[in-house]
Amino acid sequence: MSYSNGIYYSANDYFRSVFSCKVYKISLDAGCTCPNRDGTKGTGGCIYCSSSGSGDFAQNAVLSVSEQIERGKKLVMEKNPSGKYLAYFQNHTNTYGNLLELEKKFLEAADCPGVAGIVIATRPDCLSDEAVSVIERLSHITFVMIELGFQTSCRKTAEYINRCYENEELDMAVGRLKGKCSKIHVVCHVIFGLPGETQEDMLRTVQYALNAGADGIKIALLHVLEGTVLAEDYRKGLFRCMEMDEYFRMLGYVVERIPENIVIHRLTGDGAKKILIAPLWTGNKKRVLNSMLKYFRENGIRQGRALK
């Protein structure tokens, strides 16, 4: 298998195989909340999550889905000659709420010119049979990708970050999705650098996600954002963030152990600069990506087949 970056099976490689061209995500806000924000399971949300619910780059929920998409198109139109987009319902938990209203929004997005597919970010514990049925119906109309926020398989860490669900929810969620429609592309989101976690803890998290049946993995470095509980702990000196070389070493260790058929949707990320406290070296995403690929090439990092 050949990769565009010469090293691993990226989201760009995967989407080109599906759509025969490059596609761009447009981040949308469906007006959802989260069960560990509204008191159903907890309050305050995950301790690293900003008030926008990981949707710092999303459009305004006051606008209709169609209006959000049109605004998003304008931001990337010049660098997107194919004119194809993915409607990315990113903000908060997008299967948590009135499912009839959410389905209408998903269908509205699918019907917009240039939209080639739908991406829905949610939590494993918010995929009821009814929610999965909505996703299954949508998958007969357009390409569907589900992003599941997992973050860690370490139960102690999950409790610390206020995730408010057990690991087994991931296994059940992926099972329900795959049982309804095998063509749904399931991606698991994990975070490296969570306080107290070791290299083996992070690798175990990736392994857990893949054993659950995820088709892709999305890795983020822990960011400390203003206004979060995590920011309070950081200022108290309770933990430190990973340095760039340290993070690259961890990524290399994991990439070599991820099977070649697994799509690596992200290895770098950047928090909203206006609220980013640490690590500040992540601020220039392009420079970080180029430095990471340089590190991989210099150290002979190649995606492997070690995880089972």
pLDDT tens by residue, 121-175: 999 999 999 999 999 999 999 999 999 999 999 999 999 999 999 999 999 999 9
Model confidence at 91: pLDDT above 70: yes
DSSP state of 218: E
Report d(CA 189, CA 265) in Å as an integer. Answer: 9
- Identify whether 5 is part of a domain: no
Percentage of residues of the chain with pLDDT beyond 70: 96
Number of structural domains in the chain: 1
Q: What is the mean pLDDT of residues 39-57?
A: 78
- Identify whether 1 is part of a domain: no
Per-residue pLDDT of 187-204, as tens digits, reads 999 999 999 999 999 999
- The reported pLDDT for the residue numbered 255 is 97
- The reported pLDDT for the residue numbered 57 is 54
- Average pLDDT over all residues of the chain: 94
Q: What is the mean pLDDT of residues 6-23?
A: 96
**Burial zone of 96 (CB within 10 Å; 0-12 exposed, 13-18 middle, 19+ buried):** buried
Report d(CA 266, CA 11) in Å as an integer. Answer: 7
- Identify whether 303 is part of a domain: no
Report d(CA 259, CA 286) in Å as an integer. Answer: 26
- Identify whether 123 is part of a domain: yes
Q: What is the mean pLDDT of residues 266-286?
A: 90
Q: Which domain holds residue 250?
A: 11-298
CATH number (domain holding residue 201): 3.30.750.200
pLDDT-based confidence at residue 55 (cuts at 50, 70, 90) = very low
Nearest one of 36, 184, 159 to 96, comparing CA atoms: 36
Q: What share of residues in the chain are helix, strand, coil (percent, to 5)? A: 40, 15, 45
Q: What are φ and ψ of residue 141, in 5° steps? A: -105, -35
Percentage of residues of the chain with pLDDT beyond 90: 85
Q: What is the mean pLDDT of residues 209-237?
A: 97
- The reported pLDDT for the residue numbered 306 is 67
- For residue 116, CA distances in Å to 68, 77, 90, 192, 262 come to 16, 15, 16, 31, 22
- The reported pLDDT for the residue numbered 182 is 83
Nearest one of 206, 205, 294, 212 to 248, comparing CA atoms: 294
- Identify whether 4 is part of a domain: no
Report d(CA 301, CA 294) in Å as an integer. Answer: 10
Model confidence at 53: pLDDT above 60: no
Would you give the end-to-end CA distance of the chain in angstroms? 19
Helix axes 129-139, 99-110, angle to 10 degrees: 20
Q: On the CB side of 147, how many CA atoms lie within 13 Å of its CA?
A: 25
Between 79 and 215, name the one with better pLDDT: 215
**pTM for the whole thing?**
0.94
Angle at 306 between CA 300 and CA 308, to 5 degrees: 160
Helices (H), the chain: 11-19, 65-76, 99-110, 129-139, 155-160, 168-180, 199-212, 229-235, 244-255, 285-298
Per-residue pLDDT of 92-129, as tens digits, reads 999 999 999 999 999 999 999 999 999 999 999 999 99
